[in-house]
Structure 1
Amino acid sequence: MDTYSHLANSARSIVDLTNSERISYIYRDHLIKFDQFNYVTSELDRLFHYPRQIRMPCMLLMGPTGVGKTKAVSAFMRRYRPDAQSQIGGFINPHPVVIMQMPAEPTQQEFLLKMLRAVNAPVTSAMKVSDLERMLVSILRDVGTRIIIIDEFHNLNSSTARQRQIVINTIKNLTNDTSIPIVAVGTSAAQLTIKYDDQMSHRFRPVEMQPFKPGKSLDEFLRTVVAHLPLRQRSNIDTREFKKRLLDLTGGITVNLLRLLSDSAALAIQTGAESLTLDSLSLVPAPLLSIPRQRKEPPFTSA
């Protein structure tokens, strides 16, 4: 009988190492997928391969901070990261996926400058908006862009009504002129931004990532995460009490779940307990369980 049958192969291969080596392993960046993550990346794939047409479908990816939006986008981007040596037309580096962050107080010029810099275009703040628009459309075509991702989309709400509408019109014109789908990523406040414009609200299909709740998705997620924690004893994580305590402490936020499980596992190694228990969840120092206000990734990242 395999003593460590409760572990994934990667964790099993290091479970007999020293405590410090196992704890170091816990805090590496591991790929942990879950249902919502898989759905979002499949939808991004669908848009990436969508045939070019006059009215391209777009997506609004929203949800609370820490549920895994950024990690899903990052995982998708890695699939289509071009070879560093690859070129188009002998001199232009391809950018199949372009990602930018909405400026904190966006204006049309700042928006265009930031997107052009995302494709390494030589621009300056002295350039006219009309020139920036023409340059952006031309470059996106030249570098073979298939999808544009705008993170922190809810920042548009910090603009004046006039500036907000100008940026929204710029985004609509951009997808119309290039036939490139656009994905807006942000908190639930981003949906308010989309609702300001009828055309945007019809074209940007909302996809929401939510905190975990009791059910099959949570069960599968926990089993996957715990199988990658190099603990020498099997953890009893399937009880209703364990899952309730976990959700009570984390709010079901992915980043909090990952942090709590990782920290609890490290503590279990230090104390010699070698498994996660209902009580061990409460032994992690309280500050580590606070909901992060910034997108600081946990040790076991959700892909």
Structure 2
Amino acid sequence: MFAWPAKQRMPNLLLIGPTNNGKSMIIEKFRRTHPPIPHEDREEIPVLVVQMPPDPSVGRFYTALLAALGAPIRPVRSRLADLEQLVLRLLRAAGVRTLVIDELHNILGGRADQRREFLNLLRFLGNELKIPPIGVGIRDAYLAIRSDDQLENRFAPFILPRWEPDADACALLASFAASFPLRRPSPIATTEMAGYLLTRSEGTIGELTALLTDAAVAAIESGEEAINQRTLLLAPYEGPTGRRRSFERELA
């Protein structure tokens, strides 16, 4: 998408995945791969990342774009047409080649007319600037895009699934084992161990990180100095479903 030549109808991408499964990490890695380039009179920003406001109004989104560009924020009373022209001018001046919109599912938090207006804005920005917008969010982001036939045809969905106990998961676990400062090797990079860990963490990388971190702390405190079955049982980690049930019991 980053290297796509400018044309009237730019391709779009919709990155969808469950919460806590690495979407924000992917965005940040992409942004670091294409960092801002300083010039004498300006800064070139090849990849601009902006978070969709919880209130999906066009004005608030333009303000969020100005903040992401590091530009002075205009007063709220500024006319929307003036704000639009300012944002377009600065996006062009900054040489933005890819616009990444995180938390795109926040579109659904607005009224029907606000959602329609914002979806029209996405199409307008892509056409006007000839850059590929990339939307990022949970499943609801696709539901929002699907409500507009033209946008649904443009935004190609890419699903970031939950992890499965396969070779990729074993490679991930091997990298975890190598990163912890433990004195003994941690035998976790096996299919059997991957199945156990992913079941307990419910398949997301954020929860897996929390589980292994707790196990590493338990390994140090117990003197085991390795992540194994014993230290995993000692780890105080509780998965999302368990935490939800505990909270519901507290409310009952």
Pairwise same-fold verdict (TM > 0.5): yes
Q: Does 1:66 align with 2:17?
A: no
> Which amino acid is the alignment partner of residue 105 of structure 1?
D
SS of alignment partner, residue 48 of structure 1: coil
Map 1:224-303 → 2, pairs under 5 A:
224-287=175-238, 289-290=239-240
- Cα distance between partner residues in 1 of 2:191 and 2:71: 54
Q: Does 1:204 align with 2:141?
A: no
Partner of 2:246: none
Map 1:18-57 → 2, pairs under 5 A:
47-57=1-11
Deviation per residue, 1:217-247 (Å, 9 max, x gap): 1111111111222222222224554333212
Partner of 2:124: 173
Map 1:102-251 → 2, pairs under 5 A:
102-122=52-72, 123-251=74-202
RMSD of the TM alignment (CA)?
1.7
- Cα distance between partner residues in 1 of 2:170 and 2:202: 15
- Cα distance between partner residues in 2 of 1:224 and 1:240: 15
> Which amino acid is the alignment partner of residue 232 of structure 1?
R
CA contact (8 A) 1:246 1:281 kept: no
Identity value in percent: 34
Q: Which has the higher contact order (CA 8 A, sep 6+)?
A: 1
> Which amino acid is the alignment partner of residue 204 of structure 2?
I
- Cα distance between partner residues in 1 of 2:195 and 2:4: 41
- Cα distance between partner residues in 2 of 1:120 and 1:244: 45
> Which amino acid is the alignment partner of residue 51 of structure 1?
P
SS of alignment partner, residue 48 of structure 2: strand
Partner of 1:9: none
Show structure 1 runs of 5+ residues with no match. Answer: 1-46, 294-303
- Cα distance between partner residues in 2 of 1:129 and 1:174: 15
CA contact (8 A) 2:49 2:99 kept: yes
TM-score, scaled relative to structure 2: 0.90
Question: What is the CA-CA distance between 1:92 and the residue it aligns to?
Answer: 2.1
